[in-house]
Structure 1
Amino acid sequence: MWYLQVYAYYDPVAFQPGEEIRLTPIVGAMPEPILAEDVTGIDSDSSPIRFRACFTTPLSLAMLSETYVAYTGAEPLVAPGWFDCFDAMAIGTALERGEALAFLSEPDIHPGVDRVVAVFPDGRAFAWHQLNDSFKD
């Protein structure tokens, strides 16, 4: 049972080159690809909130903030221990302290679920799915 919960339901994500990570622009409604490098991710068909990804971006926080929709209430979800590039506690703490910024990647990527991206000043970035307000009501 432990193996099933921790390993069996996750698969590596196959990202399309040039379409790995998208953000929603302030002007316009369609998410657009951003520069992302060393993208690695996991997902599962068993739940729409099991997606996690780690990557780097050369884009500055200033540029991202002026161009893309900020995401309020970002709460990264814990990843399996073996996916060690994603530390939900560290990401969450950095967001709370303003040491990283969260952006809307894709709204309603599944019904009631948004894809969120957090970016640090040094270019480290992380993505996950979380329930949005439409699902929480």
Structure 2
Amino acid sequence: MKAVVWHALGDIRLDDVPEPTIKDPYDAIVRITTSAICGTDLHFVRGTMPGMQEGRILGHEAVGVVEEVGPEVRNLRPGDRVVVPSTVACGTCSYCRAGYYAQCDNANPGGPRAGTVFFGGPEAAGGLDGLQAEYARIP
């Protein structure tokens, strides 16, 4: 599939990359139909946000169609149209239950003090590939 990939400061390319797959039981695979450039993407291009690794797919927000869901996904079905926000949340911690999804205690593999997880950013932000691609894995 095609995706917008970060290689180095100022070096962003449209590359052929492998299609994402379900990794965890609560994942979904979404076929992206619309994506946009976010101001945060520009930080990565300019180098004002450190920690990017070569090969990271960029992009934070998208609209798409669910193609596949993991066995524990209960509220989505293939064919559903979805909006994918920039941040990732568990949906069950105290912050998520209060509606503060960007403050999620559980989404970041670095632990509760590691900060917000978002698509297409550095490892410290969760290390997830972004949404400027034909398909994306959505935890």
TM-score higher than 0.5: no
Higher helix share: 1
